[in-house]
A and B are shown apart, each in its own frame.
Chain A
């Protein structure tokens, strides 16, 4: 018996963390932000990240939140002009399953208590966001000859010389430059538009909730 006492003590020490952990409080969810009357919680941030609804994985929590806010605002505007049909939704699910693997998706859905209908809400928002941006970026924007010339002389020539590459004549690169300027203008317009949406919305970010997220070493499962 005396020899068993150290064994039992060792077992006790082994078991102690298990019981202590089960008593430890941890955050399940909190209100991370509000956009007008819509809420964003910690769970939303996790879902957006886990289901790859936000493109970049290595964003910090605040950056992800900003992105989610942007998506919500753009999707809200999109609902006024765009509708989604069932085929598009099914395609979105298909893409997700292919990307993550169907089993993994189902596992995560179970972990978060999501049904397919619940996940569809998130996917719809992402689709509307992407469609709206595509619509905005397909708008016709004029580019003047003056702008092309300025770009050619101020940017193109300098860049080519810096890269020690051949400086082609304007007439050869006019199409490329026009396209580049157009893309830049569209991008700038979209940024300004999104900024306008953010300025008009009432956005509150709860930094203490975000700190909780950042304080965790890894994403809680």
Chain B
């Protein structure tokens, strides 16, 4: 029995072991399935949305490759620097994704001594940039860059420490403590090479002596200075090289300086006064002399043609012997002529008018040349390009000149050649979008001219179109089949790619800005097709908030038809303070300031705090001062006006201003909304309350105009602006139109009860090259109780140049000071033109102003408009032209000229 029991136990044990082994082995043999998936960020459970980045779910078969893909997706968000994936269990496998948040560099501080400035070091450190991802590997790269910079400054034994300071959850500051050490001393300076060619003055440029501190940057600049000096002496290819041997043990440096003069080059230009600087740079480089010669000829020819020497010829030659090169350019100028007309011949397919428009030419010259000589010689090539774009690959254009004394007629002889056309356009294979839609996209149809670049661009347009519809990986190839000579059939072969939806949208880098603020700017949401245009628009909207210094978008495909969008945002500085003096407009957002806001010398102090509550709002305080006024404005700006997509401003201000007939103190409060409409149209809506006290009054007091008596007004105004000028400050083409309506009504104890309207239309035209003709019409009408500070005034450099500032219109009978009016009409016409060819920024101008101010609308009378004529000078600046003008009021019998000096357009 005992034996039987022992045997039983033995076989039982054996059976259990075998069964166990089989069980374990079987578990490991079959593909395990996924159990729980956990995602931890810095040890804490991650929000559920991160699960979308993991292409694995409970119950799926475990695949190491899919785990890798999850790591890739998580990495592409830019949020994490370390990603570890743990598994627990054999079957099922529980996965834990352990993520460490990516750190970003907020700011680097450089504490440095020995006369070095932190900005110098900051400029040299490229490995670490503000707002970019940080990891400790970058510290050694940055350290190398700092060491390299210090070596260039002559510091070879620096001590560098860096401290990492954690600021917020993902941001760090770096504090660099740099002790550059001591500079090496110069032990000796040796000269090599062609030292005997240098004179004493030149040698003294390198003013280092043994015992001085060795500063590599200074040595480099001195050697360059010597090099420049030698080149000015005629050794155009001179080089000054230096070699430094550093003995770190003894802390000394030995310097060897070697000037190499190469050839002495003398350049002579005969036959015309032409600046040598046009050709000197060509001979400074060690290129082929033949090339320098022909390039010099071309530059001189272009210069002469620009000056009007249309038939100029230039021949260059050079003579070389030992270390001497003599270069001579012989010029035959020919007569100086201006081109008064351009005539086309041989053009069968296009009219002269079309060709002129294509080349940007006016029909005829008025008083001067239609085009300069340099541009004239470029016309044949431009015209050939025009023809090629229209399907004439063999078009040739030749230029001929017909002289008539100082005037020349340019003939462009055109040989068009045959035109090539497109006969059919097909798309293969059958696609998601119909042929009709694709034809509209590419804008190519049978009958259109055949021009290969345009056909290629059409292919790119198709790719872009698919991209906008959410497709990625689209590619297009085009087959061009020439069916008959000059007739092409196009077949666009399109591989559509995959269409993606947005599964999730992530934001990184927004510490202050609220998610709601960011979401408001998005034009795309989860579940939408990944339209590239909507993604781009969202990006632009975020940039327009003026809160982020950079906005980047990353697309992370997470499955074959879904992707995740990651917006990487870098918030900018929020506080700004500035003080300055300059030419500025008045800072009071008010619709009527569109026309009345003159540039004037003003001192300004400004403090701004932006993104105040994380909603992209801005609070600012601005104080302005000039000889005529003082102003303080507190402004609150919001990208959304009570939740509407209208930029809103709330302003409070105090101001004091002095005018000719009155002065006032005013305090006010306004609410303004600005909305850009379609095209270049903009509208401004303002609600305003203001309390004005006249501090002095030079006209007879009335019920409305009372000195020291406060006058309150509550008003609502609306403006429409359409701006199609090519440039705001120096317009040459286009137009500007605006209309303002203001209704002041008695509310909150205010006395105002008036209606005011103002219209302005400006037109800019260029009748010839650098000539500008501009005209402006202004009309102002008012009715009701309008105090003096609300009435229309005119006169001065920005309205009517036959009267001083504010002086146009009715006067007070006793004081003869202007009283303003309820009606205003102004018309200004001005022609400006160049008069010094070598000084294109300066122009002369003649002008004619017409207008008047009327006390009442009923007194409006065209016969009583005043006229002013005058002339002046204009100097173009980025803020508009600097104007010096003399104007005469020719409506007055004994008109004396008035001098005006100002900046900015009158208009």
Instruction: Give the interface of A toward B (CB within 8 A).
Output: 3-4, 7, 11, 14-15, 18, 21-31, 34, 37, 39, 41, 43-44, 110-114, 118, 203-206, 208-209, 212
Set of chain A residues within 8 Å of B5, measured between Cβ atoms = 3
In angstroms, Cα B76 to Cα A44, docked, is: 17
Closest to B67 in A: A29
B16, B24, B95, B135: the one within 8 Å of A28 (CB): B95
Set of chain B residues within 8 Å of A43, measured between Cβ atoms = 64-65, 67-68
Per-residue interface assignment for chain B, residues 15 to 31, with 1 indicating a CB less than 8 Å from any chain A CB and 0 otherwise: 01100100010000001
A14, A23, A205: the one within 8 Å of B137 (CB): A205
Please give the distance in Å from B614's CB to the nearest CB on chain A: 30
Set of chain B residues within 8 Å of A114, measured between Cβ atoms = 65
Chain B stretch 88-143: residues in CB contact (< 8 A) with chain A: 88-90, 95-96, 135, 137
A29–B75 CB distance below 8 A:
no
- Known contacts A7-B9, A7-B13, A14-B20; 17 additional CB pairs below 8 A are A4-B9, A18-B24, A22-B90, A25-B96, A27-B84, A29-B67, A29-B71, A31-B75, A31-B84, A34-B75, A39-B75, A43-B64, A112-B64, A113-B63, A113-B64, A204-B137, A212-B84
Please name 24 pairs of A and B residues whose Cβ atoms are closer than 8 Å in the assembled complex, sorted by A.
A3-B5, A7-B13, A14-B20, A21-B90, A23-B88, A24-B88, A29-B64, A30-B71, A30-B83, A30-B84, A30-B85, A31-B71, A31-B82, A37-B76, A39-B75, A43-B64, A111-B64, A112-B64, A114-B65, A118-B65, A203-B137, A204-B81, A206-B81, A212-B84
B86 within 8 A of A: yes
Set of chain B residues within 8 Å of A4, measured between Cβ atoms = 9
In angstroms, Cα B31 to Cα A15, docked, is: 23
In angstroms, Cα B24 to Cα A15, docked, is: 10
Please give the distance in Å from B882's CB to the nearest CB on chain A: 49
B66 within 8 A of A: yes
B220 within 8 A of A: no
Per-residue interface assignment for chain B, residues 575 to 596, with 1 indicating a CB less than 8 Å from any chain A CB and 0 otherwise: 0000000000000000000000
Given contacts A43-B65, A43-B67, contact A28 B86 (CB under 8 A): yes
Closest to B88 in A: A25
In angstroms, Cα B96 to Cα A30, docked, is: 11
A14–B17 CB distance below 8 A:
yes
B66, B67, B89: the one within 8 Å of A22 (CB): B89
Closest to B89 in A: A22
Closest to A206 in B: B82
Set of chain A residues within 8 Å of B84, measured between Cβ atoms = 27, 29-31, 209, 212
B67–A23 CB distance below 8 A:
no
Closest to A199 in B: B141
B31, B68, B82: the one within 8 Å of A29 (CB): B68
In angstroms, Cα B81 to Cα A204, docked, is: 10
Count, A-B residue pairs, CB within 8 A: 84
In angstroms, Cα B24 to Cα A25, docked, is: 17
Interface size class on chain B is 20 to 34
B65–A113 CB distance below 8 A:
yes
In angstroms, Cα B68 to Cα A118, docked, is: 12
B135–A204 CB distance below 8 A:
yes
In angstroms, Cα B89 to Cα A22, docked, is: 5
B89–A41 CB distance below 8 A:
no
In angstroms, Cα B96 to Cα A29, docked, is: 11
Set of chain B residues within 8 Å of A41, measured between Cβ atoms = 68, 71
In angstroms, Cα B76 to Cα A23, docked, is: 31
B532 within 8 A of A: no
B902 within 8 A of A: no
Closest to A31 in B: B83
Please give the distance in Å from B90's CB to the nearest CB on chain A: 5
Count chain A CB atoms within 10 A of each CB in B5, B13, B71 and give the residue with the most. Answer: B71
Closest to A205 in B: B137
In angstroms, Cα B5 to Cα A3, docked, is: 10
Set of chain B residues within 8 Å of A118, measured between Cβ atoms = 65
B85–A29 CB distance below 8 A:
yes
Closest to B137 in A: A204
Please give the distance in Å from A210's CB to the nearest CB on chain B: 12
Count chain B CB atoms within 10 A of each CB in A29, A39, A112, A205 and give the residue with the most. Answer: A29
In angstroms, Cα B100 to Cα A30, docked, is: 12
In angstroms, Cα B13 to Cα A205, docked, is: 51
In angstroms, Cα B66 to Cα A15, docked, is: 32
A18–B83 CB distance below 8 A:
no
Set of chain A residues within 8 Å of B17, measured between Cβ atoms = 14
Set of chain A residues within 8 Å of B9, measured between Cβ atoms = 3-4, 7
In angstroms, Cα B85 to Cα A43, docked, is: 11
Please give the distance in Å from B669's CB to the nearest CB on chain A: 53
B294 within 8 A of A: no
B87 within 8 A of A: yes
Please give the distance in Å from A45's CB to the nearest CB on chain B: 11
Given contacts A11-B13, A39-B75, contact A112 B86 (CB under 8 A): no
Given contacts A31-B83, A44-B68, A205-B137, contact A11 B16 (CB under 8 A): yes
In angstroms, Cα B65 to Cα A112, docked, is: 6
Please give the distance in Å from A143's CB to the nearest CB on chain B: 27
Please give the distance in Å from B15's CB to the nearest CB on chain A: 11
Closest to A118 in B: B65
Set of chain B residues within 8 Å of A113, measured between Cβ atoms = 62-66
Please give the distance in Å from B387's CB to the nearest CB on chain A: 36
B86–A39 CB distance below 8 A:
no
In angstroms, Cα B317 to Cα A47, docked, is: 68
Please give the distance in Å from A11's CB to the nearest CB on chain B: 6
Count chain B CB atoms within 10 A of each CB in A21, A37, A39, A44 and give the residue with the most. Answer: A39
Please give the distance in Å from A114's CB to the nearest CB on chain B: 6
Set of chain A residues within 8 Å of B13, measured between Cβ atoms = 7, 11
Per-residue interface assignment for chain B, residues 29 to 57, with 1 indicating a CB less than 8 Å from any chain A CB and 0 otherwise: 00100000000000000000000000000
In angstroms, Cα B20 to Cα A22, docked, is: 14
Set of chain B residues within 8 Å of A3, measured between Cβ atoms = 5, 9
Closest to B554 in A: A37
Please give the distance in Å from B540's CB to the nearest CB on chain A: 24
Set of chain B residues within 8 Å of A212, measured between Cβ atoms = 84
In angstroms, Cα B82 to Cα A204, docked, is: 11
In angstroms, Cα B265 to Cα A165, docked, is: 59
B766 within 8 A of A: no
Count chain A CB atoms within 10 A of each CB in B9, B64, B76 and give the residue with the most. Answer: B64
Please give the distance in Å from B276's CB to the nearest CB on chain A: 41
Please give the distance in Å from A148's CB to the nearest CB on chain B: 29
B368 within 8 A of A: no
Set of chain A residues within 8 Å of B65, measured between Cβ atoms = 43, 112-114, 118
In angstroms, Cα B59 to Cα A78, docked, is: 41
Please give the distance in Å from A202's CB to the nearest CB on chain B: 9
Set of chain A residues within 8 Å of B95, measured between Cβ atoms = 28
In angstroms, Cα B56 to Cα A113, docked, is: 13
B313 within 8 A of A: no
In angstroms, Cα B78 to Cα A204, docked, is: 14
Closest to B91 in A: A22
